[in-house]
């Protein structure tokens, strides 16, 4: 037997009796698939209102859905004060744009809670350093982006495991066994990958305890792409102190990857993993700057805060290039897939690049993560959202609440898995 079940009554473990399609007819999930918690989280994002599932002789959905009490609304005074302080962080974002206005309202309850718990200082923009403590403007002009890359041995002489994984990914004839063997040479990387595959982000109903099984379930090229992206994290463990909080940096990067994957949905196929890795690495250029040009980076950070500029605009003004260009050039040197390199290089791109699906999706994900305060790579303002990119993503503004809800728990879980030893 089969039964059409409304969204509120769907449960993990139910099996689809018919293919699940969006209103526009796009196939989302095939018949015969057992639903997972991850699917249920994404259904509101896809505007799924019901599904036809297999049933036993009796109706399976006669119980009421579980009820969780809503959090109490913020105090009115705290809410008003938080709104005013939060507006200062959105000065570069167009609140007349519907999705930006929705993101502001989504950020407001957390801002009000911070205000109520810690006062105005929790929301105030960081003050510029006193003039006497201001980083001096470097006397020498900055080198070009490729010179920065080539001056760093860690970026040019990569670990053997990184090189081998890249070779497998770029070889169309590589096998699943070769992928598992390449990844398995790094125990830390293997552990992180298995934690990700077993997280609620993927929502597999049984534990995946070996790399060979992970390759079979996730896909050889998809898992290799994930491995390549995750392996980059280990390259940036020796940055000068005081420029960036590394846990906050990677939390923002992971948030961008998770949101990008959520925005894409399963119809993107193997691109879901590439979007996650593009989000994970989208601000990597800043880490290169922090390590290799610390004096220039410190001056740029201070200038951006002192003059109320977006950090990327300060980078362009004082360095002649920004972190996105630098990261894109590095990924090209590393022979990353071209679509991934372009998504990173152009996530702050102009009109033409915002018309491309992967850069547009990473751009929107970065805007969501920045607006909601999910970590930071150094930027203190909510980034502006490109209307063109938003149009390419094709999401109704009111669905952003579902995207945020479907992403937040996974961001914390993946951050703990990737950075278990970080404070």
Per-residue pLDDT reduced to its tens digit, 18-49: 888 877 677 778 888 888 888 888 888 777 87
Q: What is the mean pLDDT of residues 68-75?
A: 48
pLDDT for position 270: 57
pLDDT for position 421: 58
Q: What is the mean pLDDT of residues 126-144?
A: 80
Highest mean pLDDT: which range of 293-302, 333-342, 363-372 = 363-372
Give the Cα separation of 142 and 44 in Å (integer).
Answer: 47
Would you state the torsion angle of the CA atoms of residues 41, 46, 50, 55, taken in this order, to the nearest 10 degrees? Answer: -60
Top CATH class, 131-157+236-418: mainly alpha
Q: Which residue has the higher pLDDT, 130 or 64?
A: 130
Domain with CATH 1.10.3210.10 in the chain: 131-157+236-418
Q: What is the crossing angle of helices 271-281 and 246-264, to 10°?
A: 150
Residue 123 has pLDDT above 50, yes or no: yes
Per-residue pLDDT tens digits for 238-247: 777 678 888 8
In the chain, what percentage of residues exceed pLDDT 70? 90
pLDDT band at residue 75 using 50, 70 and 90 as cut-offs: low
Per-residue pLDDT tens digits for 218-260: 888 888 889 988 888 888 887 776 788 888 999 999 999 999 9
Q: Residue 38 to residues 205, 207, 355: CA-CA distances in angstroms?
A: 10, 15, 29
Domain with CATH 3.90.105.10 in the chain: 2-54
Give the Cα separation of 378 and 408 in Å (integer).
Answer: 20
CATH fold of 2-54 reads Molybdopterin biosynthesis moea protein, domain 2 (3.90.105)
């Amino acid at each position: 037997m089969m039964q059409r079940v409304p969204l509120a009554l769907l449960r993990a473990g139910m099996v689809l009796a018919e293919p699940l399609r969006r209103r526009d007819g796009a196939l989302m999930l095939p018949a015969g698939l057992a639903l997972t918690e991850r699917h249920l989280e994404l259904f509101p994002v896809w505007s799924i209102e019901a599904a036809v599932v297999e049933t036993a002789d009796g109706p399976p959905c006669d119980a009421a859905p579980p009820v969780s009490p809503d959090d109490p609304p913020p105090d009115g005074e705290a809410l008003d004060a938080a709104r005013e302080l939060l507006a200062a962080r959105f000065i570069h974002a167009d609140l007349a744009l519907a999705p930006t206005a929705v993101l502001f309202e989504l950020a407001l309850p957390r801002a009000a809670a911070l205000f109520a718990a810690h006062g105005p200082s929790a929301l105030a923009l960081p003050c510029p350093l006193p003039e006497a403590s201001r980083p001096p403007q470097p006397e020498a002009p900055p080198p070009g982006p490729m010179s920065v890359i080539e001056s760093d041995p860690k970026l040019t002489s990569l670990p053997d495991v990184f090189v081998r994984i890249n070779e497998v990914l770029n070889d169309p004839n590589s096998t699943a066994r070769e992928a598992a063997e390449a990844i398995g040479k790094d125990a830390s990387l293997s552990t992180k990958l298995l934690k990700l595959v077993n997280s609620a982000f993927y929502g597999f109903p049984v534990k995946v305890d070996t790399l060979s099984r992970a390759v079979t379930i996730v896909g050889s090229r998809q898992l290799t792409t994930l491995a390549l992206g995750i392996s980059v994290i280990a390259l940036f463990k020796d940055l000068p102190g005081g420029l960036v909080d590394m846990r906050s940096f990677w939390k923002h990067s992971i948030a961008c990857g998770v949101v990008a994957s959520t925005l894409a949905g399963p119809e993107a196929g193997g691109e879901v993993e590439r979007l996650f890795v593009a989000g994970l690495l989208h601000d990597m250029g800043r880490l290169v700057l922090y390590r290799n040009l610390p004096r220039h980076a410190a001056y740029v950070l201070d200038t951006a805060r002192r003059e109320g500029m977006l950090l990327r605009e300060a980078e362009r003004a004082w360095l002649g290039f920004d972190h996105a260009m630098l990261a894109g050039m590095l990924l090209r040197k590393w022979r990353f897939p071209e679509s991934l390199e372009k998504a990173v290089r152009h996530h702050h791109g102009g009109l033409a690049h915002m018309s491309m699906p992967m850069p547009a999706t990473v751009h929107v994900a970065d805007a969501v993560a920045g607006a909601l305060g999910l970590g930071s790579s150094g930027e203190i303002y909510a980034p502006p959202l490109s209307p063109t990119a938003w149009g390419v993503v094709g999401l109704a503004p009111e669905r952003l609440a579902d995207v945020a809800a479907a992403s937040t728990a996974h961001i914390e879980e993946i951050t703990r898995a990737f950075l278990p030893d970080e404070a």
